[in-house]
Structures are given as C-alpha cells and as structure tokens.
Structure 1
Amino acid sequence: MCGINGIIGLEDTQKGHDLVMTMNRAIAHRGPDDSGVFAEPNIALGQNRLSIIDLSAAGHQPMLSFDGNEMLIFNGEIYNYRELKQELSDYPYATHTDSEVILAAYKRWGTDCVHHFNGMFAFAIWDKAKQELFIARDRLGIKPLYYYQKDQMLLFSSEIRALLKSGYVPRKIDKVSLGDYLQYQTVHAPQTMVADVFMLLPGHMMLVRHGKASIKQYWSPENNFSDRAASQSYSEVKREVNHLLLKAVERRLVADVPFGAFLSGGIDSSIIVGLMSQGAAHQVKTFSVSFEEEEFSEAKYAAAIARKFKTQHTEIKLRPEDFLELIPAALQDMDHPSGDGPNTFVVSKVTKEAGITMALSGLGGDELFSGYDVFQRLLGLRRFAWLDAVPLFVRRAAGASLSKFRPGVASNKIEQLLQLPEWSLDQVYSISRQMLDKGYIAGLTGGNILAANKVQQIVAGSLLKNRGNSDALPFLSQVSIAEMHTYMQNVLLRDTDQMSMAHALEVRVPFLDYELVEYVLGVPDKFKYPHTPKKLLVDSIGELLPPEIVNRPKMGFTLPWKEWLRSELYSFCEAKLNNLAKRDLLNAAAVFGLWQSFISQDPTVTWARVWYLVVLENWLEKNGIE
C-alpha cells in the first residue's frame, strides 16, 4: 500500500525528478516507510512506500525489472502473487514482494497481465523499449488513480493534492461536477471537482505513447458476472458463496505486519472476523469504536463477537465530544470533497495508534447481498409498475398533496417518483440516492450548472452494456451494479482510501473479491430477496454468527450530527456557508435559506444537506480552488 506519482512528456530530467519529489512530499502520509524517484528524459516516476509484504529494502520503488527495461510503481496488494510467482517461475526474482510479480507478469503477458491479478491496485509501468507508459486500476476501484493531461504531457497520482502541488494543474472548479456534487454529495468518476483532472475508472487501463493517451476497459461487473448459479440449487449456491468468501478472506490475511479487523458488531464485519478466526495463524485483533450513549453504541454486539471468536479486542470508547474534536483534522485530510468520511477517519486513527498497519473491513457486503433499504424499496416499487397506467396529471396531483400534508425527505422523493413518465431502474434509482432535488439545486445555482443526471446516465449505461440486454441480470443484481458504479465507488471506497491512508493504514475488503462478486451477481433474486437482512449471506455462513447478531436492528455508525450543527458546530458551519455564499458559484440567498430552514427544523432539510456544503467550502479554501 503506497502513494504513486508520475509525469510523462517532460524532457528535462532534473525538472521531472524535482517535480515528482514535490508530488511525493504532498502525499508522504500514504507511505512513511520509504520514498523513491526515477527520472530520465520524458519520464519521471515516484512512490511513497507503506511496507506490508517483504519489509526489506529490496521492496524499494520505483522497481526495475531484472533486465532494466521496465520500471514499476505500485499502490495496493496482489493477493494471488504466490500462485502467480509459481506460474512465472522462469523470472529471476530478487525479492519476496508482490510488486516484482507484476513485473514478471507484464514480461509474460504484456498489458493482459491485469486479467491475472486478484487484488486492489493502481500501478504504472514504464516500458523503455516501447517508450510507453502502462497504467492500470483494479476491477472494483478500491485504489484510486487521478490524472491531468495538457498537450504532450500527462501527470498522474494517487491523490488530487499531489497534482495540485505540481504547479501544472490550474486550481479551478469544474462547474458541471459541482452540479453532480450538489445532487449526490460526491463527484462521479471519471470527473472530479477540479477542472481537467480525471479519475481512471475501475477496471480500466491507460497506454501513453508519444504524447497520446488511450483508455480501455478490461473488466466490468455487468459484463463479467457468472451464470453458474442460475442452474444451481439453493444449497449449492450457499456452499459456493461460503467457499468463495472464505477464500477471499484467506487471501487477505497475507501480510508481514500486524493486522486486525474493524468490528462494528454488524453482520458484515462479524462474518469477516469469524472467517478470519478460522483462517488466521494467530489470534485475531479486532477494533471497535463505542460510545457511552446507548443510542449511538454498538459495543455489546462487537463484544459478543469478540468473545465468540476469542479475538484480542480493543474497544475505543469515545464521547461524541471526542469525535467532534477530530472533525477539523478529518476535513484537513480530505483529498476530494465528500459528504461522508469523518467516521472512517476516526476508526482508522485509533486502529493505527493501536499498532495495526493493515485491517480488514466488511465494506461491500450490503452492496453485494442486497443489504440496504434501497433494494427493498426498488423491489417494492417494481410491484407498483401498474401506476404507469395512471394518468401523469393524477400522479402529480397525488404527489403534491403528499408533500404538502406530510412534508419531509421521503414524501419529496415519492412526489418525484410520481412525476416520472415511467419507472425505469435508472430514473428510480437516481432519485433514491440524491441529496437535493432539481428544485433546490436550481435555486442554489440559478439553474445555470445543473447538467444531466450523472447517476441516471451511469446506471442506464451500465445496463445497456450488459451483454446488450439488461434482462440477463437478475433485478437485485442490477441494483447492486448501480450501487457499485455510483455510491460504493465514488463515496465509500474513495472515503475509505483517503481517510485510512491519512494514517498510513491499509484497509482490505474481502466482499469485493472479484471472483465472489462475479458469482453473486449471477445468483437469482429468489435466493437473495431481502425479507430478512442479507438472507443469502447469512444462510451461507451457517451457524458462524449467533442469532442476536443476525437478528439485531441495523444501526450503522450514527452520531448526533443534527445537534452538533445547531450547537457546537454552529459557528463553524455558518462561517463556511458565509464564505461559500460570497463565491460566484451559488446563489447567496438560497444558501442562507437552506441553512435557516435547517436551523428552524424544516423536515425537508436534514443535517446532511447542509453539512456537505460546509465540507465543500472547507475543501475549496484549503486547496485554493477558484
């Protein structure tokens, strides 16, 4: 796990070296164990190393191939590197790292090497003979890669802040992306909040030669799901899920540093800990953050799992006030604005301080096994498809009445649904995940920057690409893919990376093992229907979890945000919103109107609809974005 930087197209070797050194320093937090730079005319590569596998100096990067032709920089982990090393045994290895296996694989298969990797990664290989730069990102988008291109020159990095530090990237906001952020509290890749800075999409590779960059997709969930489960019995499906999940966890236990697991006491993290206890050679270390207030604490559930699997458990007790004190630091370490993130920052901080360098997480379980309420809602709405036959003016009148007599976020979304000409998945899903509707955004922006709905475009596009026919996918798997391409990749995974790496902590996510993902996406709805939380997942692991964990209410990581914004964070929020209102980006009256509606407890304005504007202004100020 590391941070990587590079530039191609700059002839001055010393200038390229110094530039990448500057970029390395900007993201030194990602790799405190080592740092290196390689430079020659036209190419400069750099890396900050967080040592996880082979802690010796032999793992230094940039890493040169045995014959001196290829140079590698790599962020992430290749979990099947030992198997690949046996398959590629003719390569004269000088280290025990997974990094060197990437070089061996490139020697054998060229750019097709990505199809052989099981892991999370973003890497770049400079091929001296071809004078070609090869960049690739993992299938699910666990590790980030940002880039900026101007004329014949391309810069890339693990974080936007390094690109900004280069001095080549104009610090200007992308106004279309601002509209996306206002709708969904994030910017969906490949765009970012910075104009002309892009994110390489998951499952994509880039080739740069003679100043020209070409991008190619090599994997996507909608085109790579397995058909095996369609002809299997429920018992066979459960056995396969159990096998693939256990295999995914075992792969992620390979490390030469102390490791542990985040344990909330929920189904996903508890399963990961239970499977770790079966596969780990040593006692598993688990970490949970708890609160004295019962309404916010999941401590008793985490403690029950820790006792059952005899883990070395660390419960970090925080008062909400303690968490509150860490918010400024979390905002400071936010590489890209997001309405979420501080929760992961706090858990990562206390885990790292306990001496852990790598931790497993239950992220991805809800997206893959239909755990969110959105799965139930969309499945339920599908049964009301007959409403399409009701005249549109009747539906609109019904929706307006509901919003008037029962004001609130839920009623507002129902009103939007009733106004749709038809209930296609892309349109319904895009409404279910939005933060502010078009009316609010039009008021905030004066109607000037709201482009087409990005989530709707992404979901519609992914389903069209699905073998030319979205019906080939079970409906719940279509919702899973919508989640993966939008909320999971652009909020959860990006926040997890930036907030954990702020503390040089590697987070591994077994539920996003691509072999498990490919199989579960092909499982029929009748086996996944969520009449109980994540039924297929729970049934697949048998009696691994006690009933009190399986049947407990879903809590999530909740904190008294709405109270904070009206008390301890009031002055901070108001100051940031004042500054945001002074910019030409948004309508000042609308910004203040939203704030006052929240303060006066308007049910249609939740704390999250204010907080992400505060985060936006803080990020703009910190990075000097115009």
Structure 2
Amino acid sequence: MCGINGIIGIDNTSEAKKVIEVMNRAIAHRGPDDSGVYVESGIALGQNRLSIIDLTSAGHQPMYSMDGNLVLVFNGEIYNYKELKQELREYSFQTHTDSEVILAAYMRWGYECVHRFNGMFAFAIWDIRKQDLFIGRDRLGVKPLYYYRHNELFLFSSEVRALLKSNFVPKKLNHEGLIDYLRYQTVHAPATIVKNVHMLLPGHTMLVKRGQVEITRYWSPEENAVNDAGNKSYEEIKQDIFNLLQKSVERRLVADVPFGAFLSGGIDSSIIVGLMSQVASQQVKTFSVTFEEEEFSEAKYAAIIAKKFKTEHHDIRLKPDDFLQLIPTALNAMDHPSGDGPNTFVVSKVTREAGITMALSGLGGDEVFAGYDVFKRMYALQHYKWLASLPLFLRKAVGQSLTRFKPSVASDKIQQLLYLPSWSLQDTYPITRQVLSESYIKELTGMSILPENHVRLVVRESMSQQYKAGVKLPLLSQVSAAEMRTYMQNTLLRDTDQMSMAHALEVRVPFLDYELVEYVMGVSDKYKYPHTPKKLLTDAVGDLLPPEIINRPKMGFTLPWKEWLKNELYSFCETKLHNMAARDLFVKDEVLTIWRNFLKREPQVTWAKVWYLVVLENWLEENGVA
C-alpha cells in the first residue's frame, strides 16, 4: 500500500523533480517506509511506500523491469501474485514483491495484464522505448487514482491534495460537482469537487501517449456477472459462496507485517473474523471501537465473536467526548469532502497504534448480499409501479398533503417518487440516496452557478449506462450494481482509503473479491431476497456464526451529533455556515435558514444535512478551492 504520483509534459528535469518531490511530500502519510522518484525529460514518477510484502529495500519504487525499459509506481496489493509468478517463469525475478509481478505480467500480456490481477490496485507503467504511460485501476475501485490534464500536461496521484500542491492544477471549484455533492454528500467519479480533476473509474485503464489520453473499460459488475448458479440447487449455491469467500479471505492474509481485523460484532465483520481464524497461521488480532454506554454498545457482540474464535481482542472504549476531540484531525485528513468518514478515522488510528499495519474489513457485505433497506424498498417499489399510471394531479395532491401534514425526509422522498413519470429502477433509485431534494438545492444555490439544462443527474446517468450494458440481471443484483457504482465506490471506499491511509494502515476488503462479486451477481432473487438480514450470506456460512449474532437486534451506539452541533461544535458550525453563505455560489438566506431550522428542531433538517455542508466549507477553506 502506497501513494503514487506522476507528471508528463515538463521537459525541464530539474523543475519536474522539484514538483514530484512536492507531490510526494503531500501524501507522505500514505507511505512512511520509503520514498523514491524517477525523472527524465518529459516524465516524472514518485512513490511513497508502506511495506507490506517483501519489506527489504528490493521493494523500492519506482521499480524497473529486468530489461530496464519499464518503470512502475504501484499502490495496492496483487493477491494472486504467487500464482502469476509461476506462469511467468521466463522472467528473471529479483524480488519477492507483487510489484515486480506487475512488470513481468505487462511484459507478457501488455495492456491485457489487468485481466490477470486479483487485487486492489492503482498503478502506472512508463515504457521508455514507446514513450507512453499505462495506468490501471482495480475492478471495484478499492484504490483511488486522480488525474488532471491540460494541453500537453498530464498529472496523476493517489490523492487530490497532491495534485493541488503541484501548483499546476487551478484550485477551482467544479460547479457541477458541487450540485452532485449537495444531492449525495459526495461527488461521483469520474468527476471530483475540483474543476478538471477527474478520477479514473473502477475497472478502467488509461493510456497516455503524445498528449492523447485513451480510456478503456475492462470490467463491470453487470457485464461480468456469471450464471453458474442458474442450474444449481440452493445447497450448491451456498457451498460455492462459502468456498469463494473462504478463498478471498485466504488471499488477503498474505503479508509480511502484523495484521488484524475490524470487528464490530455485526454479521459481516464477524464472518470475516471467523474465516480468518480458520485459515490464518497465527492468532487473529481484532479491534473494536466501542462506547461506555452499555445499553447501546456493540461490545458484547464483538466479545462473543472474539471468544468463539479465540482472537487477541482489543476493545477500545471511548467516551463521546474522546471521539469529539478527534473530529478536527479527521477533517484535516480528508482528501476529498464527504459527509462520512470520522468513524473509520478513529478505528484506523487505534488499530495502527496497536502495531497493526494491515487489517481486514467487512465493507462490501451489504452491497453484495442485499444488506441495506434500499434493497427491500426497491423490490417493493417494482410491485407498485401501477401508482405511476395514476393522474399526475392526484399523485401531486397526495405528495403535497404528506409533506404538509407529516414533514420529514421520508415524506420529501415519497413526494419526489410520486412526481416521477415512471417507477422504473433507473428513475426511483437515484432518489433513494439523495440528501437534499432538487427543490432544496435550487433554493440553496439559486441554480445561478449552472444553467439548469447543464445540471447532469449523475446517478441516473450511471443507472442508464447500467441498462445499456444489455445484461438482464435479477432485480436485487441491479440494485447491487447501483450501490457499487454510487455509495460504495464514491463514499465508503473513498472514505476508507483516505481515513485509513492517514494512519498508514492498509485495509483489505474480502467481500469485494471480484470472483465472489461476479458469482453473487448471477444468483436469483428467490435465493438472495433478505427475508432475514443477508439470508443468503448467513446461510452460506452455516454454523460459523452463533445465533446471537445472526438474530441480534439492529442497534449500535449513535454518537450525539445532533447535540454536538448545537453545543460543542456550535461555534465551528456557525462560522463555517456563515462563510459558506457569503460565497456567491449560495443564496445567503437559504444557507442560514437551514442552520436556523436545524437549531429549531425542524424534522426535515437533520444534523447530517447540516454537517456535510460544514465539512464542504471546511474542505474548501483548507485547500484554498473557490
């Protein structure tokens, strides 16, 4: 796990070296073990290394191929590198790293090498003879890759702030990205909050040559879903899933450093810990951040799993005030604004302080195995499509009455649904993830920052692309694909990367092994529907988990954000929102009205609606973006 940087288009090698070193320093937290640069006329590459596999200096990057023609910078892990190494015996390996396997694979298979990799990765290979740069990103988007292009100049990095520190990237706000952020508390790739800074999409490669950029998709969850489960019994499907999941965990335990697992006591993290205990050659270390309030704490469930699997358990008990004190540091660690993230920051901090360099997480279990309420809602909506055939005036009357007599976030969304011309998945899904409604955003911004016909409905466009793929997936798998493309990739994975790497902690996610994802995407709804929480998953692992975990009530300590915003964080929020209101981007009175309505406890203004605006303003100020 590392941080990588690159520049094409600066002929002065002395200047290029200075810039790439500045970019390296900007993301030094990602790789405290080593740092290196490669510079020649027109190209500069940089890398900060967090040593996980082959801890010797042989793993130094930028790394050269055995013939000296290829130069690699790489962030991530290739889990099947040992198997690939057996296929590439003609290559004279000099190290025990997975990095060198990428070079050997590229020499053998060229651009097609990405199809061979099972892992999380973002890498760049400079071909000295051809004078081109090949960039690849993993299928599910676990590792990030940002880039900026202007005329002949091209820069890339693992983080946005490294691009900004280069001084070649204008610190201009992406107005269309701002609208997307207001809708969904994140900006969906390929866009970012910074104008002309983009993110390479998951499952895509990029070729940069002579000022031209060619982007190619090599994988998507829809087009690569397999139908192996089509003619199998439920028992066979469960066994297949168990085998794939067990193999995924086993792959992710390859490391030359101390490792552990995040353990909340929920289904996903408990399954990962259980499987780790079966295949690991050493006692598993588990980490839980819990709170002192016993009534709400998940500590007892984490303790049940730790005892069952005999882990070396670390229960880090915090008071809400302890968490509160870490919020400013967490905000400063945020590479891209997001309405979420502090939780991951805290658990990563305490895990790293315990001497752990790599940890497994249960992230992705909900997206793959229909764990969110949105799956049931989308399933139900498809059975009420007939409502869309009712006269529009009648649907509008019902929606207006609902918001008038029962004002709430849920009522606002129901009203939006009732206004839709149809209740197809691509029409309804984008509304389910919205934080602010279109009418709210228009009031907040006056839409003066963009002509209304230029405001793209990014999530809906993503859904349309999903349908254009021409693959008829089960409905719940369609929702899974939508969740992966939106919330998972652009919020959960981005937050996990930026908040864990702030502490130089590598996080691996077994539920996002692409072979497992491809298989489950092809499973019928009749097996996947969550009659009980993630029924297919819990059935697949059999008696691995005790009943207390599978049948536990939904709970968890809820941090008192609402009260913090009104008390301990009041001055901070007040200042940030007044600063936001002073920007030409916003209608001053509307920003302050949101704040006042929150303080008056209006049901339609939750703390989350306020906090993600505060986070945005803080990020813009800290990074000088306007």
Are residues 1:425 and 2:425 paired? yes
Query: Residue 367 of structure 1 corresponds to which residue in structure 2?
Result: 367
CA distances 1:572-593 after superposition (whole Å, capped 9, x unpaired): 1011001111111111100000
Aligned partners of 2:141, 2:97: CA distance in 1, in Å?
22
CA contact (8 A) 1:11 1:42 kept: yes
Aligned partners of 2:270, 2:463: CA distance in 1, in Å?
31
Query: Residue 19 of structure 1 corresponds to which residue in structure 2?
Result: 19
CA distances 1:550-584 after superposition (whole Å, capped 9, x unpaired): 01123367311111111111111011001111111
Query: Residue 285 of structure 2 corresponds to which residue in structure 1?
Result: 285
User: Offset of 1:395 from its aligned partner?
Assistant: 1.2
Aligned partners of 2:617, 2:556: CA distance in 1, in Å?
27
- Matched to 2:192, the amino acid is T
Q: Which stretch of the first structure deviates more once superposed, 230-239 or 97-106?
A: 230-239
Query: Residue 31 of structure 1 corresponds to which residue in structure 2?
Result: 31
User: Offset of 1:387 from its aligned partner?
Assistant: 1.1
Query: Residue 244 of structure 1 corresponds to which residue in structure 2?
Result: 244
Query: Residue 538 of structure 2 corresponds to which residue in structure 1?
Result: 538
- Matched to 1:79, the amino acid is Y
Are residues 1:462 and 2:459 paired? no
SS at match of 2:544: coil
SS at match of 2:5: strand
CA distances 1:202-242 after superposition (whole Å, capped 9, x unpaired): 00101011111111111111110001111111111000000
User: Offset of 1:452 from its aligned partner?
Assistant: 2.5
Are residues 1:402 and 2:406 paired? no
SS at match of 2:125: strand
CA contact (8 A) 2:286 2:313 kept: yes
Aligned partners of 1:100, 1:473: CA distance in 2, in Å?
38
CA contact (8 A) 2:290 2:316 kept: yes
Query: Unaligned regions of 5+ residues in structure 1, if any?
Result: none
Aligned partners of 1:139, 1:295: CA distance in 2, in Å?
40
User: Offset of 1:464 from its aligned partner?
Assistant: 1.6
Are residues 1:355 and 2:343 paired? no
Aligned partners of 1:462, 1:500: CA distance in 2, in Å?
30
SS at match of 2:542: coil
CA contact (8 A) 1:463 1:478 kept: no
Aligned partners of 2:511, 2:64: CA distance in 1, in Å?
33
Query: Residue 582 of structure 1 corresponds to which residue in structure 2?
Result: 582
Query: Residue 42 of structure 1 corresponds to which residue in structure 2?
Result: 42
Query: Residue 503 of structure 2 corresponds to which residue in structure 1?
Result: 503
Query: Residue 76 of structure 1 corresponds to which residue in structure 2?
Result: 76
CA contact (8 A) 2:146 2:200 kept: yes
User: Offset of 1:463 from its aligned partner?
Assistant: 2.0
User: Offset of 1:254 from its aligned partner?
Assistant: 0.3
SS at match of 2:112: helix
- Matched to 2:84, the amino acid is L
CA contact (8 A) 1:184 1:436 kept: yes
Are residues 1:8 and 2:12 paired? no
Aligned partners of 1:35, 1:506: CA distance in 2, in Å?
17
Q: How does 1:423-502 map to 2 (within 5 A)?
A: 423-448=423-448, 449=450, 451-465=455-469, 468-469=470-471, 472-502=472-502
Q: Which stretch of the first structure deviates more once superposed, 421-430 or 322-331?
A: 421-430
Are residues 1:130 and 2:130 paired? yes
Aligned partners of 1:369, 1:140: CA distance in 2, in Å?
15
Query: Residue 346 of structure 1 corresponds to which residue in structure 2?
Result: 346
CA contact (8 A) 2:382 2:424 kept: no
CA contact (8 A) 1:63 1:73 kept: yes
User: Offset of 1:295 from its aligned partner?
Assistant: 4.8
Query: Residue 106 of structure 1 corresponds to which residue in structure 2?
Result: 106
Query: Residue 334 of structure 1 corresponds to which residue in structure 2?
Result: 334
Q: What is the TM-score of this pair, normalised by structure 2?
A: 0.98
SS at match of 1:383: helix
Aligned partners of 2:84, 2:157: CA distance in 1, in Å?
27
CA distances 1:101-155 after superposition (whole Å, capped 9, x unpaired): 0000001000100000000000000011111100010000000000001111100
CA contact (8 A) 2:385 2:424 kept: no
CA distances 1:368-413 after superposition (whole Å, capped 9, x unpaired): 0000000011111111112122212111111111111111111111
CA contact (8 A) 2:291 2:557 kept: no
- Matched to 2:274, the amino acid is G
User: Offset of 1:86 from its aligned partner?
Assistant: 0.6
Aligned partners of 1:59, 1:177: CA distance in 2, in Å?
38
CA contact (8 A) 1:399 1:414 kept: yes
CA contact (8 A) 2:189 2:490 kept: yes
> RMSD between aligned alpha carbons?
0.9
Aligned partners of 1:286, 1:345: CA distance in 2, in Å?
16
User: Offset of 1:163 from its aligned partner?
Assistant: 0.3
Aligned partners of 2:324, 2:58: CA distance in 1, in Å?
42
Aligned partners of 2:103, 2:296: CA distance in 1, in Å?
48
CA contact (8 A) 1:137 1:144 kept: yes
CA contact (8 A) 1:577 1:614 kept: yes
- Matched to 2:464, the amino acid is A
User: Offset of 1:80 from its aligned partner?
Assistant: 0.1
CA distances 1:170-214 after superposition (whole Å, capped 9, x unpaired): 001000100000000000000000000000000010101111111
- Matched to 1:316, the amino acid is I
Aligned partners of 2:557, 2:85: CA distance in 1, in Å?
41
CA contact (8 A) 1:76 1:143 kept: yes
Q: Which stretch of the first structure deviates more once superposed, 404-413 or 281-290?
A: 404-413
Q: 1:538 to 1:354 in 2, by over 3 A?
A: same
CA contact (8 A) 2:577 2:614 kept: yes
CA distances 1:261-285 after superposition (whole Å, capped 9, x unpaired): 0000000000000000000000000
Aligned partners of 1:210, 1:41: CA distance in 2, in Å?
13
CA contact (8 A) 1:32 1:48 kept: yes
- Matched to 1:65, the amino acid is S
Query: Residue 197 of structure 2 corresponds to which residue in structure 1?
Result: 197
- Matched to 2:332, the amino acid is Q
Aligned partners of 2:255, 2:91: CA distance in 1, in Å?
23
User: Offset of 1:446 from its aligned partner?
Assistant: 0.4
Q: How many residues align?
A: 622
Aligned partners of 1:376, 1:560: CA distance in 2, in Å?
28
Query: Residue 379 of structure 1 corresponds to which residue in structure 2?
Result: 379
- Matched to 2:614, the amino acid is V
Aligned partners of 2:297, 2:564: CA distance in 1, in Å?
17
Q: What is the TM-score of this pair, normalised by structure 1?
A: 0.98
Are residues 1:95 and 2:95 paired? yes
Q: 1:330 to 1:557 in 2, by over 3 A?
A: farther
CA contact (8 A) 1:266 1:554 kept: no
Aligned partners of 1:194, 1:187: CA distance in 2, in Å?
10
CA contact (8 A) 2:70 2:127 kept: yes
Aligned partners of 1:211, 1:414: CA distance in 2, in Å?
48
SS at match of 1:45: strand
